[in-house]
Amino acid sequence: MQLPRIFTAMITPFTESGEVDYDEAARLAQWLVTHGSGGLILSGTTGESPALSDRERMNLLRTVRAHLGTEVPLWMGTGTNNTVHSRELSWEAAENGADGVLLVCPYYNKPPQEGLIRHFVEIATGLPVPVMLYNIPGRTSVNLLPASVRTITQECDNVIAIKEAAGSLPQLQELMTLVSPHVRVYSGDDAMYYMALTLGAYGVVSVASHLVGDDLASMTESMLHGDLDQARQMNTTLMPLFNELFRYTNPISVKWAVNYLGFHAGDVRLPLVTPHHDQAFEALRQLIDRLVPERVCSHAS
């Protein structure tokens, strides 16, 4: 399976009353695909998966799939800290048109490595769509070690990718040394993407691609063609934006930014809250004005 280099972990738009805005989700999805995203992941962390019901997740998937058709890879976050529930969600996603599923490490439970392995193998075994593992210790309090990833991918040939967001370049390098070359390693952190590419990462599951997807695609192409200087310059230019998008807990900042672009993304759901003091997003606003002025102009209301 040919996977895209740039996946966007898409936000979930809400109406003013807090319901999922399916029409706006379809509009945003189309715009992202037009601006550098090779594929989309719905109902991930950036999509506020903990605050979505199972029904909302599936309605979102069906809506975006109907709008985009079958040409755009459309994956869905189905990982929870309940193995049986994760497996049920993954099968339901496959039945509703997902091209693959993203499985985050079980959070709060803090399972040992054996528990992580058995969790992922249980979900992936027999699943009719491919799987991307998602390691993000900062949110889950567990670190899926490279040796465990190797075991999982050896037992389940449909586990074909991992989104690595441990924040450790040595661990990333070890991961790519241990797993088969057929397992695609994605950076799960925009700020580490350039360095991940230099180590051989395949692509990125991005938040910043809501704003600078074309630039991320260009940076990737520069690296693939051996133009490290050009890629490094682009990374340096974009780094302040990468950092500013994570000033507050994701997806608070990127959701504000998507609204600033002119989409009707709504607010985040509780327990997340958006800061409302005057300078909360001033630095982000200035970066967007500087880096994506044509998009602001064409979509601002």
Among 47, 114, 118, 44, smallest CA distance to 80 is for 44
Report the interhelical angle of 113-124 vs 146-155 (nearest 10°).
30
Would residue 163 show up in a list of annotated catalytic residues for this protein? yes
Q: For residue 59, what is the enclosing H or E element? A: helix 54-68
Whether 193 is catalytic is no
CA geometry: angle at 224 spanning 219 and 227, to 5°?
65
List the structure tokens of 221. 């192409």
Beta-bridged to residue 41, according to DSSP, are 9, 75
SS3 of residue 146 by DSSP: helix
Among 19, 77, 87, smallest CA distance to 50 is for 77
Report whether 246 contacts 139 (CB < 8 A): no
Residue recorded with tokens 């500013």: 244
Catalytic residue among 22, 108, 110, 163: 163
Residue 95 token pair: 């039945």
| Active-site choice (107, 108, 134, 260) | 134
Q: How far apart are CA 124 and CA 128, in angstroms?
A: 9
Helices (H), 129-263: 137-140, 146-155, 169-178, 193-198, 209-224, 228-244, 252-261
- Residues belonging to the active site: 134, 163
